[in-house]
Every structure is written in structure tokens, then in C-alpha cells.
Amino acid sequence: METINTDEPVTPAGRLFLQAEMNQIINCAIGVKNTLDIDAVKSEITTSIMLKQPRFSSLLIIDSHGREHWRRTQVNVDRHVIVRDEPVTNGDPSISQEDAVNDYIADLAVSSPLSTDKPLWEVHLLMAHNCLVVRLHHALGDGISLMSMFLTICRKADDPSQMPTIGGVGTSLASSGGQRRKWRTALWRALLVVWYTLVFVVEFLLRSLWLKDSRTAVSGGAGVELWPRKLATAKFRLDDMKVVKRAVAEATINDVLFGVVSCGLSRYLDIRSPNALQDGIQMTGLSMVNLRPQPGLQDFSKLLDSKSGTRFGNQFGMLLLPVYYHKGGSDPLQFVRRAKAMIDKKKLSLEALFSYKIGYFVMSCFGAKLAGLLNYRIVCNTTFTISNVVGPREEITIIGNPVTYLRANTSSLPHAVTVHMVSYAGRADLQILVAKDIIPDPQLLARCFEDALLEMKEYAEAANTTRKEK
């Protein structure tokens, strides 16, 4: 393999994901309607914008001082495309297509690191299942970067000449009242920002030292990242989530998602350990937050422009998002209201930015090993990981083949449960990766999440009907 001697240092965030304690690979499942054309896939990759992005055509090199660098190389696409002609059901005809693909990815999440003798990505073609499994090291970029890049090779299903629509959903506050009221509101908001930032940053630091969640039936811990995994999918309709969103004043889809996760975990714990938990016990989620000025998916050309302020790569902070165990009550929307109240406080704080700056400071002054250890402790001291990436709003094609689903998850962490949601064309799939010796029945957990949303929707519709009758 011929190399070109131009080395680029790996960014601090990228170095974090290369540490043994936090080594993270993103596994994306892309289902398509028709049989995959192997030659067309290879040709598309060869000419795609992906290989024009330096990190995707570079080897990871570690110098004599232990510092990681990217070194440009010639890419042999044949080494990156792995074709599986036979079904991945291990000969069991009772396994569904979805479960077979999930089992395949669950095995990859623990036992299959990416080889460092080629750039850190590969594409598995599961021919019998009409599925591409794209594996990308998290050091290459975050979910926003990678989804924005992926969409450059896709086209709208109803107009093949057009790329999919991108764009984030922003929030705004309506202004009212005179200048004095505005001044008072701004002052009060500034005081809240300072207070919440102080409180949440202190908690973040304590989580990296000794503060941890109480033990429950879904708790992980040090070493759990090495345990075998199982993967299940919870399926939602975005219209159902929007019904719930409209029933809670000024709520967002993220508020609804977090309310569903909170309610679903409570339901699952009621089944696994009935009457064993005290009402209100805290379970803390760890979430990555996009720090780019523009929310949502990005124009990929701007991600490649160093002057745009929305650079490609990993540009995120971390938030600690607590949920609380509650037995089922008469109003499931309470879970969404509690989630919204908590997330609103997080939005007012600078916790995500401080977590990024703290990580950068530790990485720069004390090295990657200490930064990786502190982040590993934060994961060990919390209960679950959660993320939500907005996908295309309309149906799309890849290499002319209609896409049926988009799903994503990462390699295993010390958490016993991680949940990653990707929305696509009015649907949202939540991938639930679990340590199977702790959570042996992830399909039950998936149903708890699905039932939680449906119950919330029914309650929201009933409440809306009652208001109209009055």
C-alpha cells in the first residue's frame, strides 16, 4: 500500500474515542428494497465524496510519543467491502430478517474491532437480507457529520435528480412587553444560566470521580463493555410523537423521546423487579449534544469549509440527563412533562460546552489516557446512553435502490443499555443494545418503549377530545 507522507494530528475528541476504555465504532444498518449490486456499491464508494474527505482515506498512525495522526494512503475499496452471501441466521429458519441483522450487528459491537492497516471504515453487504452495515470509527466524526455525508450519495425517491432535504429545527421565543420587561427577562435568564451551569458542571465533575446511580436491574459497570450483546428495535411513528408533543406545552420531539425512555424503563423495571425499587430512584442518561451553531443536519460543503464554523468531525458536548423510576399512574404524559422540565434547565446551562472544554483541557494538559479514564468513569457511574439523529424527511434511494430503514448504534460501553434513535420518512427506529447477561430480553424492553408512546398518544387524544367537547 503506497502512502503519501502528510500526517494530520487526530483531534482531541477523536483521540478520546481511540482510547481502549472508550473505543467506539458506529454501526449503521441501511435496509434497501431490491437486491444489492456489489459492483455498483464499490463504484459508488470509489467516486463518492467520502473518499475525498481526508480521514476516510488515511491510516491511523501512532508516533513514538504515543500521539495519534492521520496519514493519507491509497484506498483499496475491495478491502473495505465485505460481502456475506449466505443468510446470517446461523441456519435457524425461525429467526426473522430483522432479528438476524440485529444479532449480526450485536456481535460486531463487541468482538470485531476495525483493522488499523486500512482506513477506519468498512461496509458489510448482507446479500440475503438486502442490508448494508456501514461501520465507521467514531474518531472519524459524530452522527451529524456522518449522516450529512451519507446523504450526499442519496437521492429523493420521487425525484432522483434531487438530494434529500436537510435542515435542523430551531426554537424561538416570542417577544412581548416593553424594554424594561425584556431587560428584566434577560437578567433573570442570565442568572439562571449561571446557576444551572454551576450546578450541572459540579455534578458532571463528581460523576467522573465517585458519584454514581443506585443499582437497578438495568445497571452496568466497569468491564460490562466486554460482555456479549443483544440488539432489539423499537419502532415509532413520528406522527404519534407529534400528537404527544402537542399535548405538552412547548415540548419537542426530544422531550417526547426522553419521556418515552423514562416511562419505558419504569415499565420494564416493574416487570423485572416488582416492588423492589423505591419510587423516584434516579437513573442517569449520558447524551452527546451537537455544538455547531446550526442545529440538525448540515450542508456537507460547509462541513468541509474550515471557515464556516461547522467543521466536519466530532463537535459535541456531553449532558447528564436524569430520569426517575415511577410506578404507572393515571397520566403517562407526566413522564414527558418531567422530561421537558429537566431538559429545559439543561438547555439554559452551558454544561455541554463546559464538558467539551474540560475534556479538551484534560486531553491537552494531562494526555489522552487520563481523559479516557475520566470519561470511562462517567459512563460507569451512569445508567444508559441515549442519542437522537434526525434523518431525511422523505423517502430516499441509494445507488437507485429504495431505502426501507435507517438504524444506528455504537460498539459496547460499560452501560448495560444504550439507545440510539434515527428518524426517516415519518418513522423513527430506536436501536436498543444491551448486555444480554443483565438484560436478557431486549425485545420486552422495546415493547415497553413502544407501549409507552402509544399510551401517551391515546391519553393525549382523549384529553384533546374532552377539551373540544367543553
Question: Does the annotation mark 138 as catalytic?
Answer: yes
Segment holding 193, helix H or strand E: helix 179-207
Measured CA to CA, the distance from residue 373 to residue 378 in angstroms comes to 9
Please return the burial class of 4, using the count of CB atoms within 10 Å of its CB with bins 0-12, 13-18 and 19+: exposed
Options 138, 326, 415, 420, the catalytic residue: 138
Shortest CA distance to 196 belongs to which of 402, 363, 342, 35?
342
- Asked if 21 and 368 count as a contact pair (C-beta separation under 8 A), the reply is no
| Bridge partner list, 322 | 284
- Angle, vertex CA 338, rays to CA 332 and CA 340, nearest 5: 110
| Bridge partner list, 441 | none
| Bridge partner list, 70 | 8, 60
- Asked if 339 and 322 count as a contact pair (C-beta separation under 8 A), the reply is no
Measured CA to CA, the distance from residue 408 to residue 330 in angstroms comes to 34
- Alpha-helical (H) ranges within 232-304 are 238-247, 253-272, 300-303
Cell matching residue 247 = 399535548
- Give the active site residues: 138
